[in-house]
Structure 1
């Protein structure tokens, strides 16, 4: 396998906003995920908005897990502690492997960058299902920017490479 694969393969992203109130026009967090991803050369292959309903969230993610055109799924919203925040409960059962370091680092960086102790309320998480990475992000623009620029985008090519390298012919 050539190391250049990490740098050449176009990563295909699906973005799911979880909100009872957002529309495509008012979904600032989802727009920011897409903008930051595209600026780094990623292709946004799918986008959707679903309400804070565990069954609808899980179904949307499961559908994208079956799509060949999707390498990474990023959800925004529904990661707090309110009763309606059920994104993690909907998505985490799909994880075959949990990437604990993502949530730990997200909370650490959040704590360090002006959020302070409120960072402990975040249930941001990541995991792997099949050959796809899933990132469960809070919905605020600040949290999305932090997660995408400091954690997701710097590692996404390596993550996809590791998850898909068994699909590539050996040299």
Structure 2
């Protein structure tokens, strides 16, 4: 496949996505990162069902339980926002990585590179953004700031989403 063929992969079905915000302080009204992720997904005709959006506290068990619920519902893609830094309360990565069948190392590497080059400079090294597969499903974990969500969605996730799902399900 050429580069354009990879980017232009068409699926014969709708993509089911979920957005999980990890925060001790956010509410649906103040969740700028999660709401931006939903908005950017809608630009590629991916709608988030109300039951596929949630906010959980920075608690490893709560994060894991919500992810496992959506994975059992056969959601194709889960995007988590928040909890990816190095603070004591940042445990999203610790909840996500044990669930992964395969880590997509290039996602975190590219995210940090682009964050460094285009957004936050050397502060990018604090990000532990990760992506991977769970069977035929994808999980992307990104920082909760709107800049990070916008960068991850527009530069990495949206351009490759159909291709990633195609590869997982062929």
Q: What's the TM-score, normalizing by structure 2?
A: 0.91
Matched, 1:157 2:162: yes
Quick check: 1:10–1:43 contact (8 Å CA) kept in 2? no
2:96 to 91, 96, 118: 91
Q: Which runs of 5+ in 1 are unaligned?
A: 166-171
Quick check: 2:21–2:56 contact (8 Å CA) kept in 1? yes
Matched, 1:57 2:60: no
Moved over 2 A (4+): 3-9
Q: What's the TM-score, normalizing by structure 1?
A: 0.91
Between Structure 1 and Structure 2, how many residues are aligned? 162
Shift of 1:5: 6.9
Distance in 2 of aligned mates of 1:43 and 1:129: 21
Matched, 1:107 2:112: yes
1:44 to 42, 48, 52: 48
Q: Which runs of 5+ in 2 are unaligned?
A: 1-5
Shift of 1:6: 2.5
Shift of 1:162: 1.3
Distance in 2 of aligned mates of 1:56 and 1:62: 10
Who is 1:10 aligned against?
Answer: 14
Shift of 1:9: 2.5
